[in-house]
């Protein structure tokens, strides 16, 4: 059963914020808790970080805020949290969700000068979010007026107990108005939490997320712990390492889907996006391309992916953790269909560790934590796959013309030298551990405070790993192979411009180099624009340009190998259809 935020009884200003945030529908805990809290009921909710619990209590609180005299208003809601980080996050969430109602939330926690908090309290706030110790300090000083409180939330109650806040919580609750509404959110319900609930809550409604009796598909399931800021790099690494033939990458919101889709395409990963804002026609087109194997990666929200019936999804990647165990099972059920091998990869931030453990526990799934592969791991795997392809090629026969070539060269070179030269050509330059520095341990000290390295690089005008190859960018990143990268796209895209007789297999014609361009049909790009730009800017004859494979958000174009660098350079300063275009050597696509 799915529902909408509007159906839960939330009003326009809040619904607008949710649309702006790209939330498509309530999470299970929200669907259950919001109506109950709006009705004034007390509540015990068993839900942890990642389930959307913050909005589950923040939205009804905002909805029920009485419009009062703004200046000097006393707080109408109080949220207790175990840590200052959570207090800050929750206060921030109130601002975000309540921005069209001018909600003011104040985080109060130890370690911050109390004077700053005093000033804000005097000016008037709607919601106070604090750690129990600091809240008590304020109460003792008489600086926290609790008389107007209508709702009190105990967030992560089990954590607060584990941290020894039990007496403080009792003292605070004793000082709040008796007719208040009280809700307790906790990942687990140990005895003391249940006892506190029965002492302070009145006929509470109960909400739990996560159901039993789920049948988890038998597929390889792994997770990586990554720092929040490293998530995108981690995804890129996973894609490089796993080399999915077709993957669905799940995000929580439409905004994240769009932004991730853009970042992937910007890095030359052929990705398409799917979310609830697309028209049926757009949706059908995306799905058609994904099903046909024309876009390897589909970035989607849960809502958009619901009901998708796609055979042959090799990988499901949870870029954001699913909201609950059931959601996890739904998502990963998209791979491993019809007895095929499938793999589910989940990226987990340190804060989400407990939620991940709970998903594993509730579903009974065997989800292995793995260490993030290094660049060397990626290279090693690539070599292994290459060797396997070689073995298959030898087994497949049809080598005669090449044997003649090898024999003629064999007069001057040893077989090993010959093979090594061919490998070098096909695999590209082997790079050692590059500047890509993805911590293998998401908990490494100081990681959370580090600036976003990619933003930093972008600000400096650098591209990831582009350094040594004259801006070839991702094409050479991680030592991607050149010829291999050309596989796949040639016979899979819409061939807008004929490339003469159809070539055997999916090799780019000898002497041609396939380039990836970060513009496509949706940008209004037509093959003629591209030919014009390349021929004009790089000063090469239009007739020397090979096939153009046009997609919605990107395209591939073949240019003479000898002119490839020249074309890349010319395009780097060219405007096409009024916008700067990024061109890189196309990355490999291995179809297994």
By C-beta, is 278 or 422 nearer to ligand AMP?
278
**Placement of tokens 């061109």 in the chain:** 583
CB of 44 to ligand AMP, least distance (A): 17
- Which x/- pattern over 135-174 shows residues binding ligand AMP (rule: CB under 6 A)? ----------------------------------------
Beta sheet of 271-274, edge-to-edge order: 271-274, 297-300, 247-250, 315-318, 343-348, 220-225, 368-369
CB of 76 to ligand AMP, least distance (A): 21
By C-beta, is 17 or 221 nearer to ligand AMP?
17
3-state secondary structure 478-520: HHCCHHHHCCCHHHCCEECCCCCCCCCCCCCCCCEEEEEECCC
Stretch that binds ligand AMP, among 53-61, 103-111, 328-336, 487-495 (CB under 6 A): 53-61
CB of 264 to ligand AMP, least distance (A): 20
By C-beta, is 30 or 46 nearer to ligand AMP?
30
Q: CA-CA distance, 354 to 361, in Å (whole number)?
A: 10
Nearest to residue 392, comparing CAs of 400, 381, 384, 403? Answer: 384
Q: CA-CA distance, 292 to 493, in Å (whole number)?
A: 9
Nearest to residue 129, comparing CAs of 186, 202, 76, 194? Answer: 76
Q: CA-CA distance, 221 to 535, in Å (whole number)?
A: 48
168 close to 95: Cβ distance less than 8 angstroms: no
Q: CA-CA distance, 261 to 348, in Å (whole number)?
A: 20
CB of 89 to ligand AMP, least distance (A): 7
Using DSSP bridges, classify how beta strands 247-250 and 105-108 pair: parallel, antiparallel or unpaired.
Answer: unpaired
CB of 405 to ligand AMP, least distance (A): 57
By C-beta, is 323 or 482 nearer to ligand AMP?
323
By C-beta, is 351 or 569 nearer to ligand AMP?
351
**Quick one: which of 55, 121, 160, 216 contacts ligand AMP (CB under 6 A)?**
55
**Quick one: which of 28, 52, 82, 244 contacts ligand AMP (CB under 6 A)?**
52
By C-beta, is 156 or 296 nearer to ligand AMP?
156
If one asks whether residue 53 binds ligand AMP (CB under 6 A), the answer comes out as: yes
**Count of residues in contact with ligand AMP, rule CB under 6 A:** 13
Instruction: State the angle between helix axes of 132-141 and 114-123 in degrees (0 to 180), rounded to the nearest 10.
Output: 70
Non-local CB neighbours of 480 within 8 Å, separated by 6+ positions? 428, 474, 585, 587, 588
**Quick one: which of 35, 49, 151, 358 contacts ligand AMP (CB under 6 A)?**
49
- Which x/- pattern over 534-563 shows residues binding ligand AMP (rule: CB under 6 A)? ------------------------------
Chain positions 9 to 48 lying near ligand AMP, rule: CB under 6 A, are 23, 26-27, 30
By C-beta, is 330 or 381 nearer to ligand AMP?
330
CB of 576 to ligand AMP, least distance (A): 35
**Quick one: which of 54, 151, 273, 508 contacts ligand AMP (CB under 6 A)?**
54
Q: CA-CA distance, 290 to 269, in Å (whole number)?
A: 13
Q: CA-CA distance, 22 to 13, in Å (whole number)?
A: 15
By C-beta, is 3 or 561 nearer to ligand AMP?
3
Using DSSP bridges, classify how beta strands 555-560 and 548-550 pair: parallel, antiparallel or unpaired.
Answer: antiparallel
**Quick one: which of 33, 34, 50, 269 contacts ligand AMP (CB under 6 A)?**
50
Non-local CB neighbours of 537 within 8 Å, separated by 6+ positions? 567, 570, 571, 573, 574
CB of 27 to ligand AMP, least distance (A): 5
Chain positions 240 to 279 lying near ligand AMP, rule: CB under 6 A, are 252-253
**Placement of tokens 């003391």 in the chain:** 192
528 close to 520: Cβ distance less than 8 angstroms: no
Stretch that binds ligand AMP, among 38-46, 51-59, 226-234, 311-319 (CB under 6 A): 51-59
CB of 7 to ligand AMP, least distance (A): 13
By C-beta, is 54 or 434 nearer to ligand AMP?
54
| 3 state DSSP class of 250 | strand
If one asks whether residue 358 binds ligand AMP (CB under 6 A), the answer comes out as: no
**Quick one: which of 17, 35, 51, 182 contacts ligand AMP (CB under 6 A)?**
51
What residues line the site for ligand AMP (CB under 6 A)? 23, 26-27, 30, 49-55, 252-253
């Amino acid at each position: 059963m799915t529902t909408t935020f509007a159906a839960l009884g939330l009003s326009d200003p809040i619904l607008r914020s949710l649309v702006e945030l790209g939330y498509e529908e309530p999470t299970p805990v929200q669907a259950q808790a919001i109506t109950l809290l709006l009705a004034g009921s007390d509540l015990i909710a068993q839900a942890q970080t990642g389930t959307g619990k913050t909005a589950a209590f923040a939205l009804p609180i905002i909805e029920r805020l009485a419009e009062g005299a703004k200046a000097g208003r006393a707080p109408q809601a109080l949220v207790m949290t175990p840590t200052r980080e959570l207090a800050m996050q929750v206060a921030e969430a109130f601002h975000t969700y309540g921005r069209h109602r001018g909600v003011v939330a104040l985080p109060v926690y130890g370690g911050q000068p109390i004077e700053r908090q005093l000033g804000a309290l005097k000016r008037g706030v709607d919601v106070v979010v604090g750690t129990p110790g600091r809240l008590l300090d304020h109460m003792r000083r008489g600086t926290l007026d609790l008389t107007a409180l209508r709702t009190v939330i105990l967030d992560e109650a089990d954590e607060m107990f584990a941290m020894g806040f039990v007496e403080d919580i009792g003292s605070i609750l004793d000082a709040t108005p008796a007719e208040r509404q009280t809700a307790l959110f906790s990942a687990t319900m140990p005895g003391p939490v249940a006892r506190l609930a029965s002492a302070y809550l009145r006929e509470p409604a109960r909400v739990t997320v996560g159901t039993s009796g789920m049948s988890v598909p038998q597929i390889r399931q792994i997770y990586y712990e990554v720092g929040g800021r490293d998530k995108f790099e981690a995804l890129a690494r996973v894609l490089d390492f796993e080399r999915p033939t077709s993957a669905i990458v799940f995000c929580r919101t439409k905004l994240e889907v769009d932004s991730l889709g853009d970042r992937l395409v910007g890095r030359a990963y052929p990705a398409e996006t799917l979310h609830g804002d697309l028209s049926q026609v757009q949706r059908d087109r995306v799905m058609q391309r994904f099903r046909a194997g024309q876009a390897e990666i589909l970035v989607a929200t849960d809502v958009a992916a619901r009901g998708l019936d796609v055979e042959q999804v090799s990988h499901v990647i949870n870029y954001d953790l699913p909201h609950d165990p059931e959601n996890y099972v739904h998502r990963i059920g998209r791979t491993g269909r019809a007895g095929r091998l499938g793999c589910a990869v989940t990226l987990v931030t340190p804060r989400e560790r407990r939620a991940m453990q709970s998903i594993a526990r509730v579903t009974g799934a065997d989800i292995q934590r793995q260490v993030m592969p290094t660049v060397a791991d990626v290279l090693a795997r690539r070599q292994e796959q290459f060797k396997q392809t070689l073995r298959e090629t030898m087994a497949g026969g049809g080598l005669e013309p090449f044997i003649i070539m090898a024999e003629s060269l064999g007069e001057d070179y040893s077989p090993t030298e010959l093979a090594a030269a061919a490998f070098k050509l096909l695999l590209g330059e082997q790079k050692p551990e590059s500047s890509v520095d993805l911590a293998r341990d998401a908990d490494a000290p100081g990681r959370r405070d580090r600036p976003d390295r990619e933003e930093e690089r972008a600000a400096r005008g650098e591209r990831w790993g582009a350094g040594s190859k004259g801006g070839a960018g991702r094409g050479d990143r991680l030592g991607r192979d050149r010829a291999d990268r050309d596989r796949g796209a040639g016979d899979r895209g819409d061939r807008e411009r004929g490339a003469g007789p159809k070539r055997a297999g999916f090799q780019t014609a000898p002497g041609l180099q396939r380039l990836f361009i970060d513009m496509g049909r949706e940008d209004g790009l037509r093959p003629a624009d591209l030919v014009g730009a390349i021929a004009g800017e790089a000063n090469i004859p239009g007739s020397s340009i090979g096939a153009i494979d046009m997609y919605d958000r990107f395209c591939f174009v073949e240019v003479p190998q000898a002119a490839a660098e020249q074309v890349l350079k010319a395009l780097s300063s060219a405007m096409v259809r009024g916008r700067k275009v990024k061109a890189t050597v196309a990355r490999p696509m291995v179809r297994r």
